[in-house]
Structure 1
């Protein structure tokens, strides 16, 4: 995966003035656009689309400052149909318009070319198992919430707090398959995993394909497939978020698996009364990397 990411970065720099077909490129590299975008954003801290935009504007800035070319010609060369569209992208990266930058010589914000490296320290073993699961359903109460990486998500907290205690008991009684118990489900996540982008959060349980579900509950159909299951113990939600990040930095680059589209699921197996610590399982949908 690390080699594939570096090849993508090199390809981007070689084709900054062209339309970049990420799907075709990832197919040539033997991976998928979905997995590559998720790994890129997890490791670099920015969406792939944002990196492409920053690199284009970094290189374009040199032409704006040092060349005599008209701004429209520069805009068209970098894929923008007008100086207005180019100016918006330029200002979003550099904080000034192309015209002001040309007159004043800056200020400019440079996006260096990324280089991905795998550092193996071996001091954080991950308790992981691979599970093949038949088709099942996730049922419960869903809401659209923004993606937040660090700390508790107040939107999710408010969603759960609005449910009466009796509803939690009702849901637990409906659970009849793995992942077991009450579940925290994230679905329809932006492939670039952009912080602040919306996702569907479902507070619910898993049931088998043939189990009838109450009509008042939201449902997510989950096709048969393979899952990587990470067991986590410690401070909540810090330990869970640390493990989630480590799947991208440590586990996926070192194992012959890649993410596939589907919901990510957190099963809370045990917890302290104040939820300060917990034992959880993180379920991620995976498939084998092409050999």
Structure 2
């Protein structure tokens, strides 16, 4: 209940200040967590970046005012934070499909995004195995793609990226470049942006001799990790099992864990345990709630 109240207080702050400059740090403060963690958690749970949710709410309220007031369009745009009429018109048309001038006509179809709220849901009857473990610094390299959390796009684009790398020889090039390093190809999520996009990298541990400039390399500092094991699977059903755990971590585990995200990449670590049989772990860097 306490977590629900905090999240709803954060949403109340957004609604109370929808016509002003909304302070992301203040939003997170209402939820008793860091700005970084709140934005990540919001995007995973809602499927929409926080910035996009705020934009949709502003343009929804602007549409109501267009049809129910005589306020000038230029003043309405300024009211909701747009610095010029052109910027307001572009944003409005992108959401509603019509210009602000056209929106004033009777019978025009507009899009309304309601204020979200968090409620109790009967979940958590299925256990989630995890462990908290500190790991020394390490380095990974690989090939990356930018994907988005919006609308769950990443759950479609990431498997497509693996297929693309298999066809163009990318997976083989990563494996060959790893040289004496043991282990299967892994995956990393990092460089999260406010718009809900992030970098997804198919990677391997960096060998001592280094790698070619073709590859992206990231240095991972010593961190504390929440590690979630994935039950044994075949390559065919592995994606479904891994995605199922990802979809539960933020709405089910984080709210009551006493931890929040720390700044750092997330990993899917893969291990072979038999002929055509694998297991995996999801690693998320964490820190104690302040």
**Shorter-chain TM band:** 0.7 to 0.9
Write out aligned runs for 1:1-291 (5 A): 1-27=3-29, 29-138=31-140, 140-147=141-148, 148-151=153-156, 153-161=159-167, 162-163=169-170, 165=172, 168=175, 171=178, 173-175=180-182, 181-192=184-195, 194=196, 197=197, 199-205=199-205, 212-216=208-212, 218-233=216-231, 234=233, 235-270=237-272, 278-290=278-290
- Identify unmatched segments of 5+ residues in structure 1: none
Distance 1:252 1:65 in 2: 42
In structure 1, distance between residues paired with 2:85 and 2:177: 58
- Contact conserved, 1:118 with 1:253, CA < 8 A, in 2? no
State the distance in 1 between where 2:122 and 2:241 align.
20
Q: Offset of 1:232 from its aligned partner? A: 0.8
Q: How far does residue 262 in structure 1 lie from its aligned partner after superposition?
A: 1.1
Q: How far is 1:129 from its partner?
A: 0.4
Q: Return the alpha-carbon distance in structure 2 between the equivalents of residues 245 and 172 of structure 1.
A: 34
Q: CA RMSD in A?
A: 2.5
1:246 offset after TM fit, Å? 0.3
Deviation at 1:271, TM superposition (A): 6.4
Provide the aligned length of Structure 1 versus Structure 2.
Answer: 276
Does the aligned pair in 1 maintain the 2:146–2:199 contact within 8 Å? yes
Instruction: Please give the secondary structure, in 2, of the residue aligned with 1:184.
Output: strand
Aligned-pair distance for 1:206?
Answer: 6.5
The answer for unaligned runs of 5 or more in structure 2 is none
Deviation of the 1:203 alpha carbon: 1.6
